[in-house]
Structure 1
């Protein structure tokens, strides 16, 4: 099974794997997808943009190396989808986001029948579509992202370790849509998926605090539609998430501000 970007935590480096060469090629015969994955993880730790460019070079080599009927070809395209999106987040060059969508669509189309990595490729494309929606506000982009995330859940076994992340992403997409195009039914579905994501994320997991806050955010959105009773649970989720977030977490200040807002709203409504 291809394991593009499948590792959770750690460097992703195999024992004895050589370091990347200064020229950005594939050193010592290292498999190009492994190299791209390792460089992407190193970028996550260091923030060095040169690592993203070298990772993209390795993924491009993988596209050339593996034939279209090889699952690694689709994985290399999916890698380029993610890497282009990461570069977009840093550089804000619209062509990078367009390129991310192109690679993502090609990856989904190139996945051979029965490819176990198809949900990951679909999820990566959906994340890029969310970025496009945030930038352009077109309903068709967020609707496509939602459809892709729903399809991922249909394909993944109930006990799959990535299922909680997909459910959380789907909840966030639904929330995005409802905030731009108000619809209580969309928010109700978002709550269901946010609850499922939290239920499948055990306490102590690094994502547990984020899943608490995500559920709180959807409940807060429901409260804003007039269902003010949801303020109580939304406040509880944010308070629990705040307690679990590490002191230096970048979202901590925003979560603290929302907790204060929820306290004031509860006082105003008398509960």
Structure 2
């Protein structure tokens, strides 16, 4: 990691400021610095990454084929810093950069779903942060973009469960805000699709199954039994290959699902009943 960063920095120092490859080399250095921050947690790496990626974006000519990549990397770096420090200015800068990246990416481009997903989640984050004080259409923008993600992603793509989970979260948030039953039902369908996906991280699919159970129970949906069956199958799949240190955590996570499916009341860790 340090060697990669050193090589990128050497390339930046070697290439003249006016060289057409300068923005791309700066982008590579910024990406490398951000990756090192995520491994070593040195805040100076994150600050230097953002500064370097700003320079890359500023030097990138309009219409350059790598312009969306540079904007997306800068936006993602702002999101990381916002998650760390909570500065609203970072979230606003992230939305601006990610929106430009998504707008400049053609609909048939392989990165379009990923960029729409990042932007949609940023709008959802701003909605959660500001609530009624924020942009009233943030939640609508998030839902619209995440629907596009789910439509554009190829069938069977491993990221689909995660994308459908994100859309479900937005639909549940709008249901809580407006009380529209169709959002509750749509969320149930979205989570069931994600849970039943044949591919993708088991953790994403199990999260979807647990959310599906919650939604189905809330509207007495006939799919509730199926949701429990899917969740238990995913638990069994997750168990295979896990080291012993992780199996207990997985068991605790799925205990309530198994207990409810068996028709038993929820119990506390010490075995005492928490409800009937």
TM-score in terms of structure 2 length: 0.71
Distance 2:163 2:181 in 1: 21
The answer for the alignment partner of 1:67 in structure 2 is 61
Q: Which moved more, 1:211-220 or 1:44-53?
A: 44-53
2:103 to 109, 130, 134: 109
**CA displacement 1:205-260 (0-9 Å, x = unmatched):** 6x2123212321232134234559838835972795596487569x9799468659
The answer for the alignment partner of 1:4 in structure 2 is none
Deviation at 1:134, TM superposition (A): 1.5
Alignment of 1:97-246 (within 5 A): 97-111=91-105, 114-138=108-132, 140-200=137-197, 202=199, 207-225=201-219, 227=221, 230=224, 233-234=227-228, 237=231, 240-241=234-235, 244=239
Q: Which moved more, 1:212-221 or 1:154-163?
A: 154-163
The answer for the alignment partner of 1:264 in structure 2 is 265
Distance 1:45 1:259 in 2: 35
The answer for the alignment partner of 1:81 in structure 2 is 75
Gaps of 5+ in 1: 1-12
The answer to whether the 8 Å contact 1:36/1:56 transfers is yes
**CA displacement 1:86-141 (0-9 Å, x = unmatched):** 11111011111111111122222333575432222211111111111222235521
The answer for the alignment partner of 1:7 in structure 2 is none
Distance 2:183 2:150 in 1: 17
Q: How many residues of Structure 1 are paired with residues of Structure 2 in the alignment? A: 249
The answer to whether the 8 Å contact 1:88/1:94 transfers is yes
Q: Which has the higher contact order (CA 8 A, sep 6+)?
A: 1
